[in-house]
Amino acid sequence: MNLYAIRAIYRAEMARTGRTLLQSIVSPVVSTSLYFVVFGAAIGSRIPEIGGVSYGAFIVPGLIMLMLLTQSVSMAAFAIYFPKFLGTIYELLSAPVSFLEVVIGYVGAAATKAVILGLIILATASFFVPLEIAHPLWMLLFLVLTAITFSLFGFILGVWADGFEKLQFVPLLIITPLAFLGGTFYTVDMLPPFWQTVTLLNPVLYLISGFRWSFYGVADVSVALSLGMILLFLVLCLAAVWWIFRTGYRLRE
């Protein structure tokens, strides 16, 4: 294991975040804070408690997960796409660095940034709504696993994309709608039976449900099923990354 190579890639990506602090950290935190203000303070005061939890506090795990999913994907996708766009990817591929070390460097940096962002948003939310974390270790586990999994997915997206439009397509037009329809602002029990069945087909529901359980002990599906869905998606992403480097898909063109 070439730890020097991993550290070099990781530090370069973390340094790039420092140069784009406004876009990488400040903008997501401000946009999420607006949700807390509008839904938590303004609208939330007029909505009854859900499972014994005030509505403003109820939506916090969903909003954190929404931001975590989109930012993990975007940061990892842009990280690997820019070397392709600039042509420096060939220097990386010709270096004595294995594909595992490349993935750990890029995905590790993206996941680290996503976790830090999630914790900052969590701290920010405490200023707007009352929060409690019933299972802090489980909360961190869901946070880290989700960040790693969707950073891997973002890495795959960055390899697949051949233009900046495709980099934005998946986070904005697929992940964000799935998060909004996956229980960010409501529970499955609030829906008619038909739409409950449809919602259960949404994979993001299981991520939000498990994460919310770590806060308040309430969930739409079992915690074991939520954890199993994350691990399944993680395995699928790892298999896809292995295939990309095994075949050189979109890397050697």
User: pLDDT by residue (tens digit) across 42-61?
Assistant: 676 677 788 888 888 899 99
What gap in Å lies between CA 101 and CA 246, rounded to an integer? 14
What gap in Å lies between CA 60 and CA 40, rounded to an integer? 9
How would you classify residue 252: left for phi > 0, otherwise alpha for psi between -120 and 50, otherwise beta? alpha
Distance set, CA 240 to CA 16, 36, 54, 90, 153 (Å): 26, 36, 41, 20, 9
Radius of gyration of the chain (CA): 19
* Position 148 in a domain: yes
What gap in Å lies between CA 230 and CA 214, rounded to an integer? 15
* Position 252 in a domain: no
Q: Which domain holds residue 171?
A: 3-247
How confident is the model at residue 91, as a pLDDT? 81
The predicted model gives 1-8 an average pLDDT of 86
3-state percent helix, strand, coil for the chain, nearest multiple of 5? 80, 0, 20
Contact present, 181 and 198 (Cβ < 8 Å) = no
**Segment 159-191, tens digit of pLDDT:** 998 888 888 888 888 898 998 889 888 889 888
Q: How many residues does the chain have?
A: 253
Pairwise pLDDT comparison (207 vs 20), residue with the higher score: 207
How confident is the model at residue 123, as a pLDDT? 92
* Position 253 in a domain: no
Contact present, 185 and 59 (Cβ < 8 Å) = yes
**Segment 133-155, tens digit of pLDDT:** 999 999 999 999 999 999 999 99
What is the pTM (predicted TM-score) of this model? 0.92
What gap in Å lies between CA 106 and CA 90, rounded to an integer? 16
The predicted model gives 8-14 an average pLDDT of 90
How confident is the model at residue 41, as a pLDDT? 66
Looking at residue 53, the DSSP 8-state letter turns out to be: B
**83 is written with which tokens?**
């070397």
**Segment 202-246, tens digit of pLDDT:** 999 999 999 999 999 999 999 999 999 999 999 999 999 999 988
Number of domains in the chain: 1
Tell me, rounded to whole angstroms, the distance of Cα 116 from its chain centroid.
Answer: 12
Contact present, 14 and 112 (Cβ < 8 Å) = yes
What gap in Å lies between CA 179 and CA 165, rounded to an integer? 21
What is the pLDDT confidence band of residue 17, given thresholds at 50, 70 and 90?
A: confident
Contacts of 199 (CB under 8 A, 6+ apart): 181, 182, 183, 188, 191, 205
**Segment 78-136, tens digit of pLDDT:** 999 988 888 788 888 788 888 889 999 999 999 999 999 999 999 998 888 888 899 99
Contact present, 59 and 40 (Cβ < 8 Å) = yes
pLDDT higher than threshold 70 for residue 1:
yes
What gap in Å lies between CA 188 and CA 201, rounded to an integer? 12
* Position 98 in a domain: yes
